[in-house]
A and B are shown apart, each in its own frame.
Chain A
Amino acid sequence: MSEKKILEYDVLVVGGGISGGEAALNLANLNYKVLVVEKDLSLGGKMIALSKVFPTLDCAACITTPKVSEISRHPNITIMFSAEAKKIDKLGDHNFEAHVHQKPRFVNIDDCTACQLCEQACPVSVIDEYQQGLVGRKAAFIPFSIASPRAAAIDIINCTLCGACERVCPTGCIDFTQTDKDYTVKAKAVVLATGFNLFDPVKIPRYGYGKYKNVITSMQMERQLAPTRPFNAILRPGDGKMPDNIAYVLCTGSRDKSVGNPICSQVCCMYSIKQGQLLMGSLPMADVTIYYLHIRAFGKGFNEFYEQARDMGVEFIKGKIGDIKEKENGNLILRYEDVEEGKVKEAEHDMVVLSVGVMSNSEISDSFQGESLRLDDYGFINQDDILASPAETNIDGVFVAGTATGPMDIPDSILSAGAASAETTSYLRRASL
């Protein structure tokens, strides 16, 4: 039996990634009461999973963790994890009512000390989603080492209910009696920071992702490069070999009408160049080749970063990949059109990284009742007046931040969140006049 509570806030922020967190923090610092609704077990979104950021090669976690810690501890911010805004109604000016559904964590966060005894006691091993499926985790687990909150959770779908975690927990914080909760949230404004989805390369069968073990995604490589990585080194998932010849295929699932995504992901050139540089550091003897259509190094310091990668020895080939085939030893043969020479060529690599594109995450649009939320042609949330008010949507009082509007990098996401919080503040001030 679910219980229903009525909660009141100034602003409902949907999404606890870097954009939602930034917007929430800005609003909370102006003394507005904010509720952040996050679908995952931790704040930080996709950024908290990155190794380093371009073009400075700053440690991503070193930027994200203090920020999420500040959000978690802010007295004006309430966060609901494993929660989704299922229904959002605009009842009038400055008057929104949302139905929020929260799944149980089976752990009382306030009592958990993150001692990990439950993890050690748990006999079950399942795929670790945070490590992109490269390694296992337990059914009783801390989502990842820098998670915020750093508290355990129980993966009830894969739990054998053996009770081992409960028996070893020194604080008695594990509670399998927890049930789903439903809340009615009243708010004066809504900020949508629902982020993006990565392109699923299974949709391009000729690249062999999911079939050839040594074809991986850029996010899987990102995890391999991170200090909290799944392996002890950079290894081929197919057989644990240290690769010495790695290829990147840019624009996988972006700028490609045939897979339903004709737009540029805006980040895949730069994150691939970044990973190329990091690989040259981790595997000094390795060859890294980047197959590209155009290098779009448009931001501050980006072109210099690209030149730096070339100077370090990363090879760039302007080439369109036809298909990828696997040899018996796990190596991969890339058949491609060398665009500059106008010839079809083949090249052999130990490992291939698919630099996947950015897709919209438009689920939130289904939550709006009555007045529907307008999306653009690619499924991102439409900005009605992109030049004058980039955070405004077609619904007065509903604002949008970060990659929910379209592909963008981290600095632009932070800027966008700043714009969203400023426009939300302006809207809220009008309520009090």
Chain B
Amino acid sequence: MDVEKGKTAKYRKEKNPVAKEVMENLKYFTKTKKILMDALKEGDKTVPQLSEALSIPADEVLYQLMSLIKFGFAETGDIDDMDEYFYYKIKDNGKDKS
């Protein structure tokens, strides 16, 4: 079977279409990433602050935010005055990699 190197994904897609849920998951992640990054562009925020501002449950904010930190889009800042919550900010002074 001869499939051009570097284009094997295209070959597989023709044989096995991508499931609808997989595309929906991608859309959800892209949308959540955008709204979290937009919120952080306005200034450093804690998880409860992001949760309240975006009406997203705090556990979901934490999960997505930590993923964005792992993927290199955001970073951890200072801790609040009560030593309870960290502030989070965009990495590299807002130079969005996306």
Could you tell me which A residues sit within 8 Å of B by CB distance?
120, 123-126, 134-138, 157-163, 165-167, 169, 172, 174-177, 213, 230-233, 235, 237-242, 285
The answer to whether B51 touches A239, judged by C-beta atoms less than 8 angstroms apart, is yes
Which residues of chain B are near A230, meaning CB under 8 Å?
Answer: 66, 70
Is B93 in contact with chain A by the CB < 8 A criterion?
no
Residues of A within 8 A of B12 (CB): 161, 176-177
B43, CB-defined interface residue at 8 Å = no
Please state if B25 and A162 are interface contacts (CB–CB under 8 Å): no
CB < 8 Å neighbour of A172 from B5, B22, B48: B5
Name the contact of B59 in the complex, choosing from A166, A233, A237 (C-beta under 8 A). Answer: A237
Contacts of A169 in B (CB 8 A): 6
The 10 closest A-B CB pairs, nearest first, are A136-B67, A240-B47, A163-B9, A239-B58, A176-B8, A176-B12, A161-B13, A232-B76, A125-B29, A240-B62
Q: Which of B10, B23, B25, B63 has the most CB of A within 10 A?
A: B63
Given contacts A124-B25, A161-B12, A240-B58, contact A135 B70 (CB under 8 A): yes
Contacts of A231 in B (CB 8 A): 66
Tell whether, in the assembled complex, residue B22 and residue A233 are in contact, meaning their CB atoms are under 8 Å apart: no
Chain A: CB-nearest residue to B76: A232
- Please tell me if the beta carbons of B18 and A160 are within 8 angstroms of each other in the complex: yes
Name B's A-contacting residues (CB within 8 A).
1, 3, 5-13, 16, 18, 22-23, 25-26, 29-30, 46-48, 51, 58-59, 61-67, 69-72, 76, 79, 83-86
Given contacts A163-B10, A239-B47, 4 further A-B pairs with CB under 8 A are A120-B72, A136-B64, A137-B67, A158-B22
List the A side residues contacting B83 at CB < 8 Å.
242, 285
Q: How far is the CB of B35 from chain A (nearest CB, A)?
A: 14
CA distance A336 to B10 in the complex (A): 58
**Residues of chain A with a CB closer than 8 A to B62's CB:** 235, 237-240
Closest Cβ of chain A to B17, distance in Å, is 9
B residues within 8 A CB of A120? 71-72
Q: Name, among A125, A136, A162, A237, the residue most crowded by chain B CB atoms within 10 Å (CB to CB).
A: A125
